[in-house]
Structure 1
Amino acid sequence: MKPATIRIAIASFAKVAIAVRNVAFVVKQIVTVKPALTEGNKMADPVGFEGANVLMSGEAANCRDLEVFADGKQFVSCWRLTAEEMSEIAKTGVVWVSVWGGGMPPILISGTALVFIGERPAKAEPIIPKRKDAL
């Protein structure tokens, strides 16, 4: 092999090695997600609220019923955290969100009411049993 050819082969090998190293880095970054809804990974309980106009039925084993306000553009739900969950958020400063499906729709997480009754914020009710007949 001529010296020039050797340099090209070495340079090509170096590029392949860098590419392989980058792929290996990406492969190391593959993560898993806890499956379904379990007590170990759920946070908050859905809460009914004034103005809720739809009950989304959680019929799958990993879903719960959810009262929402729907206006054709968005769904708004309300969630209540336990003291332990609030403590965890205060400690970590983060909330993780899992949206099931094939895409990631825009979402908004808020600590204040997003639904209003006239001029005042809607009031959250206590955690409620299924109320399919009420909505």
Structure 2
Amino acid sequence: MRGILFAISGGFFLTLQSVANARISNGIGTWQAATLTQMTGFVVALLITLILRDRTFRQMKDVKVLYLSGGALAAAVLFSNMTAVHLMGVTLTISLFLIAQLGLALVIDWNGWFGMIKRRLQLPQVIGILMMIGGVLILKW
């Protein structure tokens, strides 16, 4: 149940962040807004870590270099998201982001990439993705 609540919260926060970032980028530029967002996120995460007195940050040196690309990818996510919101609006942007995330997640699970357990791609999953794409087409009209 907690996982569901965190996933729903994450979806809400992603939407709110998309709108806020798009508004910020209107005034200062897209890459500048991405920089500001990344810095703000870093400061908040650091403060939470310090407040919780979590000392596991010492293990950061053990993280594989490949996985450090997550932070760099976040900059690309922010830029893509802000640009898409400006061009298409929030609803279509988030819809397409979700389809892209779910599609890649299925491919990762299917192939067992990044140390994930391999899972079989089944017909209901394919139908679900196709239904989401159909929903976006309906939204677009």
| TM band (smaller chain) | under 0.3
Highest CA radius of gyration, 1 or 2?
1
TM-score by length of 1: 0.22
Whichever structure has more strand as a proportion of its residues is 1
TM-score by length of 2: 0.21
Whichever structure has more helix as a proportion of its residues is 2
